[in-house]
Amino acid sequence: MKLRVNWFKNLTKFGCKLDSSSLRVRLTVGMAFFSAIGLGSLAVWTGMRMQQILVVTHKENIKYIAERFPQDVKIYTEMATLSVATQKAIDNLATEDKLLWVKTNSGKVTALAAALEKEAIGSTLLPLNNVPPIPQIRDLNGSYWLMCATPLEVDNVYLGNLFIAQDITKDQVMFLNLMRSLSIATFIVIGVMTFAIAYYINHLIKPLKRISQLTEKVSADKLSEAHIHLENAPSEVRELADTFDEMIVRLSEAWEHQRQLLSNVSHELRTPLTIISGYLQSTLRRGQNLTEMQREALSTASSEADRTVQLLQDLLDLARADSGRMHFQLEPIILNDLLKELVEMTKQYSERQIQIELPNQLIQIKADANRLKQVLLNLIDNAVKYSDEGKPVTIKIEQEQHQTIIHVSDRGMGIPLQQQGRIFERFYRVDEARNRSGGTGLGLSIVKTLVEGMGGSISVRSQMGKGTTFTVIFPSLF
């Protein structure tokens, strides 16, 4: 049992998980099949040839006796009667394993070899009829006989049929044993060859597996690092790897170009839009004689300009993160102070009650203060956006052995379970109905990028109708 388990483990170690559609299995099965057909045909052909060689001399001998027998009888008739001459000719030609007898059409045996008088042989051979004129092998109760029967005519007198039987049991048994050994050897060779072929093919397609392992790791932001180096691979596979490398270079250039364009466009648009927003706000502040309609139009334009500036800022941040140009000034921060500062900041644009639950001691983490503020403001902003007025938003800090955990919770509408895994994707928004409050679907992907850039992690837990908690974890500072 243990041996079987080990054997199976070895198979899987070779990468032999039997996937019937894999190139390895198909090649192995195909090559093993054709080898089996080749070896099998060779074995069958060898067997047939061997039997032919064994039988052919006996056949020639029997044919010769059948041809010469009438002449022998004729010679003896000069000294004796026809029936005595026939018996004499038989005695002369018969041996222990070569038997002759003459049988009339009515089934009467008129002359026979002495050995046929023995009960065992006589009762088996003499009653036989329908024996062909060309010698053929007959299996008679485990003994093999090469037999033929030809009409016997001497001086135009028909004497009946001459039967000749040659005992070839020894030769035939030897031949059958040989055939059995040949079949076993063929099966063993086919088995060994199948294993050898499987091993060889496995070795041969290793470079292909290596290519797929390397390509699995390629992602948009690591395009420039993706190169496939294959040593000792077949030239076709090396060619494939080179083509792949060239494609990656082209993709990397196109990706870089797109990133650069996005970054430039965002940058170029952000400045004039910020100026427009500033003018709109100052017009709103100072325009004492504006009508209600003008005021409303200007304030809509101002908030849309702000939203677009925010979107451009988000795009710029993501472009920076993608190109590895986002730098973090990581330094020890006292989280208690930072949170209090944040709550003061949020009071300026929201009347929502923000509750903070802090442990008594000071908590320090290593992070970029501005980026961490950006993260928490984003989460607080979402919590406010996606919960009803009057429902508080809570920020809770916990400290465990090796990590500091920040929970930002609301008692809002929640996020459906099947969407929770996707909300950190770029431009992903749960549904339009809940997004009346604006937003671009970029906020959480930036939050994730920033948190991970500072060495932390973020996750979400949410229940529909009950609320959502975002959990940010940083390693503790000791």
Contacting positions for ligand ADP (CB under 6 A): 382-383, 386, 410, 412-413, 415, 423, 428-430, 434-435, 439-444, 468
Place of tokens 């979400």: 460
Rounded to whole angstroms, how far apart are CA atoms 205 and 236? 11
Q: How many helices (H) and strands (E) does the chain have?
A: 12, 12
Closer to ligand ADP by Cβ: residue 110 or 313: 313
Closer to ligand ADP by Cβ: residue 98 or 385: 385
As measured in angstroms, the least distance from the Cβ of 303 to ligand ADP is: 14
- The SS3 assignment for 253 reads helix
Task: Let me know if 171 is exposed, middle or buried by CB neighbors in 10 A (0-12, 13-18, 19+).
Answer: middle
As measured in angstroms, the least distance from the Cβ of 255 to ligand ADP is: 23
Amino acid at 224: S
Phi, psi for residue 102 in degrees, rounded to 5: -120, 130
Q: Which two tokens stand for residue 401?
A: 């052995």
Amino acid at 461: R
Rounded to whole angstroms, how far apart are CA atoms 310 and 314? 6
As measured in angstroms, the least distance from the Cβ of 429 to ligand ADP is: 3
As measured in angstroms, the least distance from the Cβ of 457 to ligand ADP is: 17
Closer to ligand ADP by Cβ: residue 292 or 432: 432
Closer to ligand ADP by Cβ: residue 148 or 442: 442
For residue 163, the tally of other CB atoms under 10 A from its CB is 25
Closer to ligand ADP by Cβ: residue 63 or 407: 407
Closer to ligand ADP by Cβ: residue 131 or 444: 444
- Whether residue 403 contacts residue 365, with contact meaning beta carbons closer than 8 Å, is answered with no
Closer to ligand ADP by Cβ: residue 87 or 445: 445
Phi, psi for residue 109 in degrees, rounded to 5: -85, 120
Q: In degrees to the nearest 10, what's the CA dihedral of 115, 117, 123, 126?
A: 80
As measured in angstroms, the least distance from the Cβ of 419 to ligand ADP is: 8
Which residue in 239, 237, 206, 212 sits closest to 226, CA to CA? Answer: 212
User: In this chain, which residue has its C-beta nearest to ligand ADP?
Assistant: 439
As measured in angstroms, the least distance from the Cβ of 427 to ligand ADP is: 8
Closer to ligand ADP by Cβ: residue 28 or 449: 449
- Whether residue 129 contacts residue 163, with contact meaning beta carbons closer than 8 Å, is answered with no
As measured in angstroms, the least distance from the Cβ of 442 to ligand ADP is: 6
Q: Are strands 393-399 and 354-357 parallel, antiparallel or unpaired?
A: parallel
As measured in angstroms, the least distance from the Cβ of 410 to ligand ADP is: 5
